[in-house]
Structure formats: structure tokens, C-alpha cells
Amino acid sequence: MRPFVVAAVISAALPWVVSCAADDATFVPLDPCERRVADAADAIEPDDQVALMDEAIFLCDDLTGIVTAVAEHPGLLGVDTVTFLGRRCARTVQAAMATSPVCTDPLVRAATTGPADDGEGPVGYLGLALDDTEVLIVPDADTPFIDGRPQAISAIVDLAVIEGCAALLTERDRWSARVGDDDVGQEASVYARHANDLATYLGCG
């Protein structure tokens, strides 16, 4: 039995427990992964939220499961899900969590790469373009950042997790088509390269 599980055997036949009060009904997920994420969303103290999310990382069967569970609670993490998972998995001292399916997922491991910051000049994201040149992307009005990297990069990772290869390849082609644009050409090349590298790693055709 996994060490984080306190009581997980309730009923495998029903996905939800309905708790009926006089004027409302509360739906409580029975799946241990979904339940821990729901508990984290209900927690008031940040430390409690983080501890419960660590349990969820261990309990969830795969990356898709925890990403889907978190999506049911908008605003829970404050950063994109894969980035959060990468941070927690990189910092854990619990071997069981570090070797869990979520923490060993290639997308989570890739998310541990931090932003470029050598202490001089603007802080930004250092990425590789399609021609292998390094491009420093800095946040501005047209390039919002999430947790130290362009929102477009986070979106590509989430797309790969949730929608799979077809959507990832479509996103790669969309950015590739914009490489010639004067206003976004270099950034588009970085995003296309990132999507292509992910597609290659995941074995997408």
C-alpha cells in the first residue's frame, strides 16, 4: 500500500460520493488522485496545499491524470501545472515521490529548466531557434511570461500533455509558419523548435 494512502478503499463502482445537506449537494471525488487535488484546492494554508499536492503527485497514475485533476480547480497553483510539478519533483527528498510516474515523466523533468539569469542584463528565457542559434526572449506586453518562461512555452507543454501528438504537431506548424514575420520571427522559431523537440521526444510522427 502506498504510504500516502490513508483510506482509499470506499467503492470502486462509483466515481463520486454525494453529500447532501438541506440546501446543497457536494460532489467528492473518490479517485485518490482527484481527491488529494480537491483537498489541496480546499486547503487554506499554503503549506497544507503544497503538502497535499505532493501526495497527489505520488498518488496519481500519470501526468495526464494530475493535469486533468488540477484543471478542475482554476487558480489552485498560480503557475502552469507542469512547471509546478517539475519544481516539486526536483525538490523532493522522498524516493517514492521522486520515482513516481508523474515525477519521472519526460515533460516534468524538462520543466525543471529555469530562466536565463546571469545577474547582468534582462532576465528572460534562453531558447534554441530552428537553426540552432540561441535566442533570449524577454517579457513584454506582447510576450507574457508564466513562472519565468514565455506563456507560449508553457502552453506547448500543456498541449502535449492534454491533447497529444496531433495538437502538438499542429502547434509546431503554426509557429513555423510565423518564422518569417518581422515582429515575432525569432520567438516563433524558438516556439516551433520547442514543439518539435517535444514531438520528437514523445515519438510523434
Q: How confident is the model over 72-99, as a mean pLDDT?
A: 84
Q: Is residue 172 part of a domain?
A: yes
pLDDT band at 117 (very low <50, low <70, confident <90, very high): very low
Query: What single string gives the DSSP state of each residue in 17-78?
Result: EEEE-SS-EEEEE-SHHHHHHHHHHH-SSHHHHHHHHHHHHHH-SSHHHHHHHHHTSTTSSS
pLDDT band, residue 112 (cuts 50/70/90): low
pLDDT band at 61 (very low <50, low <70, confident <90, very high): very high
Q: Could you report the per-residue pLDDT of 121-152, keeping only the tens digit for each?
A: 445 777 888 988 888 888 888 888 876 778 88
Residue 1 lies in a domain: no
In a domain, 46, yes or no: yes
- How much is the CA Rg of the chain, to the nearest whole Å? 19
Number of domains composing the chain: 2
Q: 95 with 20, same domain?
A: yes
**Residues 197 and 131 occupy one common structural domain:** yes
Residue ranges making up the domain that contains 85: 16-109
* Domain final residue pick, 68, 85, 109: 109
Q: Is this prediction's pTM over 0.75? A: no
Calculate mean pLDDT across residues 14-20.
41
Same structural domain, 123 and 39: no
